[in-house]
Structure formats: C-alpha cells, structure tokens
Chains A and B, each alone.
Chain A
Amino acid sequence: MDYKAYMVPNPMTPGQVVSIDPELCTGCNTCVEVCRLDVMVPNPEKGKPPIAIYPDECWFCGCCASDCPTKALKIEYPLNQRVGWKRKDTGEYFRIGMKNPPPPNTRPPV
C-alpha cells in the first residue's frame, strides 16, 4: 500500500465546520466577510474556495451559508451535535449525518 504520511498535529475538533463545493464557489469570499469570527481566510489562489483555518471557533450561526451567493457552502455540525428525529407513523429513526439519509425535504413552503 502506498500512502504518504504527513507530520501534522492532530486535527482540530470540529475539523471541518464548512464544506465548500469548488464547482459552485467563485472565490468571492462573501463567507469570509460575513463571519464574525474570521473562521475562514481567503485562498491564496484567486477564485479558489476560502480556507477554514479556525474551525474550533465557529459559533454555527450559519450566516456564511445563508449569505453565500452561489449556495456553494454548507455548514457541517460537529459529530457531537448531530441530532436525531423519529418518523411518527413508521417509528423510523433518522439523524443528521446518517448514511443514506432520506431525501431532502423540499416541500413548500418549508
């Protein structure tokens, strides 16, 4: 097996508070600007998605996601905050982050 090993400190927790779709992201850095905590810094390469450098400070206010003009950015809750629900008629359990989640609920107006 050929995998490179890196001498890096342990990842922070949460390690990735936002995930950005490089296809959709234009590198406009709106998220960098709306974030009160400066969780993200602009990518040194113009047009590239920003880098989440202080994920441990995220307050999960979600402004970056709400204000993203191309909806390229998603908030990722830390694992210990991924909550669950129960479908009333079937009694099934679901939780945020589960494998094979149910389809997104797009029923208007919610």
Chain B
Amino acid sequence: MTTWHDYLKEQGHAPDWPYPIRFDKEQEIDTDVLVIGGGISGCWAAISAARQGLSVVLVEKGDTIRSGAGGPGCDHWCDAPANPLSNVDPDEWAQHMADHPYCNGIGIQVQCREDYDTLLEMEQMGGKIRDTGDEYIGAQGRDDKTKFMISPRYTRIHSYLPEDKTKGEKTFSSNPDQKLNNVVIRVWGTTFKPALKKECKRLGVKIFDRVMVTSLLTENGIQGARVVGATGLNNRTGEFMIFKSKSTVLATAGAGSIWLISTELGGYSNMMSRTISGDGTVMAWKAGAELTKMESTGVLGIATGYKHKWYTGAGDASYENVPIVDANGKVLPYPIQGWVDAGAMMPYPGVEKAVREGVLKGEYALPFYGDFPAMPDVERRATWKLMLGEESTTKIIIDTFNKAGYDPGRDLLQSYKLIEGVSLPQWREAGYGGGLLVDWNLKTTLDGLYAGGTQMFAPEDHSYAASTGRYAGRKAATYARQAGESKISREQVDREKARVYAPVKRSSGMEWKELHAGIARAMQYYVSEFKTESLLNMGLDALRKIEDESVPLLFALDPHKLMRSLEDTSLLTYAQIITQAMLARKASSMPLNFQRIDYPTLDPPAWNKFLTIKLENGKVKTGKLPLTFWGNMKNQYEAHNKDYTGVYKRK
C-alpha cells in the first residue's frame, strides 16, 4: 500500500496530516552567518564559515542530506586546472573560459584556482574522488600513481558555442606541446552530499531542514539596506521562522519551469527539481539587490515530461566514449565526448545539420542507439558505472536499467536524438545565466549578503557551486566577524507573515498548479522566442493581472501546498523580472539567445554589455556594466585572497 488512493480505498478516508500543524507560531533563531539553501554551494558555504569559528545556521527547503541539483550525485569535477595531472595553467584556463561573452569571470577565476583544493577537502570529509578500489586499471586517463581518473571532457576541445572544430581547439602557452589538458576529474559524486551534511554537523552548523525561506530582512526594513536576516516557513508544520544574522549567504539556485509546467509530470518540468523556483533571486530582488543577465533564456530542450527523461537516452552528457549508431549500426558523426574527439561536449552546428539531412535522405535510419558493446570493457564500465552511476539523478537510471535486464556488454541503448522531435521554441528556460551581481568577495550589492553557486549570474556546474560556495562562506564569515549587531524590523516581519499565510486562510479558489500553468502560458505567449516592445509590455500586464486577480485566489490545504503556492509567487515575480530585463535590452544577441523583432541586428557593439536591474524604493532601476567589469582576473583574485593558502600557491 504505497499510493494515497490505496490508503483511501482501504481506510475509507484520507490519512490525517502526519506532522503537527503550527501555522502562525513563531520561532526566532540568532546566528553569525545564515546560509540559505543547503545544496552543494550552501553546504560548502556553511562548512567554510563554521571553520572560522562562527555560529552558522543552514536553512534548506528539502533535507540537506540529498537536496539541490547536485544532491543525488556528480560524475565530473569540471575545470580543476590546479590538479597535479593538469597540463594547463589555472589562470590561463580561467582566462580562456572567460573568453565566452557574458560569463562570470569572478566565479570562473575562483573555480579554476580553488576547485582542486575543494576536491581534496571533499576527500577529507569522506567523499570518494579516486579509484581506490582499482576497478578501472587500464582505463584511459587513469593515473596509476594518484589513482585519479581524468575525464576526456575538454582534453583538447573546450568551446561553448562551437561553430567549427578549429574554433574549439586552443593552444595554451602553458601547454605548448599540446598535451591533453586534463582539467576534468571523474568522481564518485553520490558520496558527496551525505559527507557534506555530516561535516556540517561535526562543525556544529545548525541545520533547519524542510524550511522554505520566504524573504530577506533588511536593516529597519528598508529596501537596499544591509541584510540582517530572513523569514521562513516550515513546509511540514507550517511554523513561521525568523532568522537573525550578521551576514547571509544566498545559495538557492535560479528558477526552472517558468515557461512550461506539465501539471501532472510536474517534477519533470525542468532539469532542475521542482524545489528550484527562484526563491533566492526573488527575495534578494525584493530586498533591493542588483541582478544581471536576467534577459538571457534558452529553448527548453529536455525532460519536460513531454520528452524522454534526461540521461535515459544514449548521447546525453555523461555518455563519454559511447559511439552513437543508427538503426542499422552505422556510426554517426556525433562527438562521443571521448578521447578520440578530445572530449568535445556537443556536435558542431554543421555536424548536427549534416545528420538531420542524412536522416531525411535516408542515409541514416532512425532510431539511433548508444553502442556500448562496441566499447572496450573497462571504458564501458567507466562510463556506465562511474559516469552514469555517479551523476545527479542518473544512478537510479542505471540501477533501473540493470534491474530490467539491460546489459551494456550486449545491448544497444536507444537514443532519443531526432525521433522525439523538437521542443516548441516558445518553451524556454531561464536557467541560462540570470542571477545576482557579485564582486570579488562574491558579495552582492547589499551589505551582509553574499551569493554562491547558481544563485550568481552566469554560473557553471557542480564543482563551481562547491568552490564558489566555499569562497562565499569564507568571505561572509570575515564580514560577520567585524559587523555590528543589527535590529530586524517587526513591521517587515508582520507584512511577510500576512503574505505567507494568505493561501491557508482559503479552502477553495485556485490551486498552485493552475496558477503555475497560467504563468507559463503568459510567458509562452508574450515573452517567448520572438520579442517586441509591445509583446513584452503586454506580458508584464498579463503577469500583473495574474498577480492582482489570481494570486489572491490561491488556496492551500496543508503546509506542503502552501509552500508550492509560495513557490508560484516566486516564479511569478521571477517572470516579471525577466520581462523587465528583456525590455531593457534593445538589441538581439546570439550568446544571450535573445531575439527582438523590433531590434533585429545581432550583437551591435553598442549593446555588448551587461544590463543590471534592481528595485529602488519599489521602482525598477536598470543599469549597465562592461563585459569584463571584474578587471584583471589573476590580479584581482590575488589582491582579494592574500591570506588564502591552497595547492596552487604551494605548487
């Protein structure tokens, strides 16, 4: 009896709510450093802050043991050029990564300098990062001395927008004879998150699981003032939480499924889980923090519930070295992210086009397959068990395949390339770089507020979240040590309390899913592939209508649905910020995946700049920053981290 319907059938009535209901009751917590979001970035922030001997509180919407996009696991520790097997200089690698327009040079520099240190610390905490069991002796990239498993990814080619092979290839002055770059390490990431939680506990970090943070508190409740705490809702008991802090690290990631929700397959609506609903960005926005790159979106490519689940089809990322063949076994010219093609991540547009045309001409027969049997045994195991077996949300996939009798030694795994068709261009994804603006301390534009991981603009991957979280925690602690006491504004708390509990005061009206679908529709409709001033303005109007007419109808029958309803209000605000940001950019841009019908010229030089956006006394204020506003990456990093001792310095 595991479904609710079964219970109903057997008991004749629904079960009582299993947790004590404490709507409206208050709990107040005081701390030096408050970390919001217990994912990869948040845990690392809490740990490095705690190591400085300060009191740390970590608040997580789910349970820290497995929460966050990286909670289930991680197979690639990307961009660790400071590792001993690397053949490139970290600063040069960082500079190369920063050649990509609209990236975050600060975060990249931190990642390249500190990624390897972070990984070693991970190992000290009990995370597995080497082939200690000697399972993969003989696998290409395995270093028999350190037992590190180097991934083929980026070994030579490392390009975000590959137009042709040559543009992807790059000779580094630190690697003149073009040895393999060796900057990506294969890791046993399923061991990471539990180890992080354990370490938090060991260091005395106070963890509040199942608490959704709903707003930031600012000095005297003034927008733009120093951040002095936050409010939260326990999503099982409905209890109200008030956190008081000297400094705060925001690490709740960006927002997913703003353009699309499959109401029943809701968990599929994005590569991120439902929990990632933009709460952090929105609470920072309301507090007056400055955001940037919010206008950048991409086509929602994968896993909307209308497509195959990400990683269940051969050819998705992590399928290193797996040749893709057509229905008749003919090998396709797709890159296999392996040693032979130097770890290229995605096919060049030319190749993609050639394959599509080949299919139409009958040159390649659908469907395609991942040809595991064609691989050498050790490489096959390395991909199937180590890569797929350790990556986020995919361990369960290979377990399921194995249970179902799939045998990579004998079986071709179906690929969904082409057969499942393309996503509608109006289904888009915000997960393309919008976020909090930060400085070289990963401090936001508000005093006392720091950011880590995908909470920042233009973020990268798992190891990036880890190293920037670790860095932000360090800096937040330094600030907290010198920061004076601060008072929270009761009035601000009461206002938030009224907002939070409104939906439980109703027992009918509009439920959270319909509201979410309505927001998604407005976005598909007005803030989609093709934009114009009038459409975007109508989009704002439509969203405002939803805010004025539908949000007041939201009803929630229990604390869980209350949390979902509040998430929708975050998504709604997030959608409004995106639309505002899009209005501000009066030019089309390729790297931002941004088309304006009324400004069709692609990337006119005058518009090659970051646009920033924030609230000031309730008014939207936009600004601009040069594309490399962070200055000289190497010098700035060293100027801000004189006291930092890491592997790189020792080298």
Chain A residues within CB distance 8 Å of chain B: 6, 8, 11-16, 18-20, 22, 33-38, 41-44, 48-63, 65-67, 74-75, 77-78, 80-81, 83-89, 94-98, 101-107, 109-110
Contacts and interface: CB of A to CB of B under 8 A. Distances in A.
B5 A94 contact: no
B309 A77 contact: yes
A57 B266 contact: yes
Contacts of B273: 36-37, 59, 61
Contacts of A88: 371, 373, 410-412
A41 B236 CA distance: 10
Contacts of A109: 135, 381, 385
A105 B406 contact: yes
28 contacts: A6-B9, A14-B265, A18-B2, A34-B66, A35-B62, A36-B275, A37-B275, A38-B235, A41-B18, A48-B1, A55-B3, A56-B265, A57-B267, A57-B274, A59-B273, A60-B393, A62-B396, A62-B399, A63-B65, A66-B395, A77-B312, A83-B313, A85-B413, A86-B412, A88-B412, A98-B404, A101-B404, A105-B401
Interface string B382-421: 0011000000110111111111111111111110100000
Contact of A102 (B5, B65, B405, B416): B405
Closest 9 CB pairs of A and B: A62-B396, A36-B62, A102-B405, A59-B273, A59-B267, A63-B66, A13-B264, A61-B72, A105-B407
A107 B434 CA distance: 45
Q: How large is the interface on B (under 10, 10 to 19, 20 to 34, 35 or more residues)?
A: 35 or more
B66 to A, nearest CB: 4
Contacts of B65: 33-34, 63, 67
Given A36-B67, A66-B190, A41 B15 contact: yes
B293 interface: no
Contact of A51 (B1, B266, B268): B1
B625 interface: no
A33 B71 CA distance: 13
A61 B66 CA distance: 9
Given A13-B265, A81-B268, 7 more contacts: A38-B235, A50-B2, A56-B267, A81-B308, A85-B412, A94-B404, A97-B404
B586 interface: no
Contacts of A50: 2
B414 A59 contact: no
B265 A75 contact: no
B61 interface: yes
Given A20-B2, A38-B560, A86-B414, A60 B267 contact: yes
Contact of B3 (A52, A57, A60, A63): A52
B397 to A, nearest CB: 7
Contacts of B616: none
B15 A44 contact: yes
A51 B265 contact: no
Contacts of B308: 81, 83
Contacts of B18: 41-42, 44
Interface string B1-33: 111110111000001101000000000000000
B411 A87 contact: yes
Interface string B258-287: 000001111110000111000000000000
B63 interface: yes
A6 B62 contact: no
A52 B312 CA distance: 23
Contact of B404 (A19, A37, A96): A96
A6 B410 contact: no
B181 to A, nearest CB: 29
B369 interface: yes
A59 B68 CA distance: 12
Given A36-B63, A61-B72, A62-B397, A8 B236 contact: no
A81 to B, nearest CB: 5
A73 to B, nearest CB: 9
A107 B407 contact: yes
Interface string B559-596: 01000000000000000000000000000000000000
Contacts of A18: 2
A103 B405 CA distance: 5
A16 B3 CA distance: 6
Nearest to A93: B414
> Which of B210, B235, B265, B373 has the most chain A CB within a 10 Å cutoff?
B265
B112 to A, nearest CB: 29
Nearest to B413: A85
Contacts of A74: 403
Contacts of A54: 560
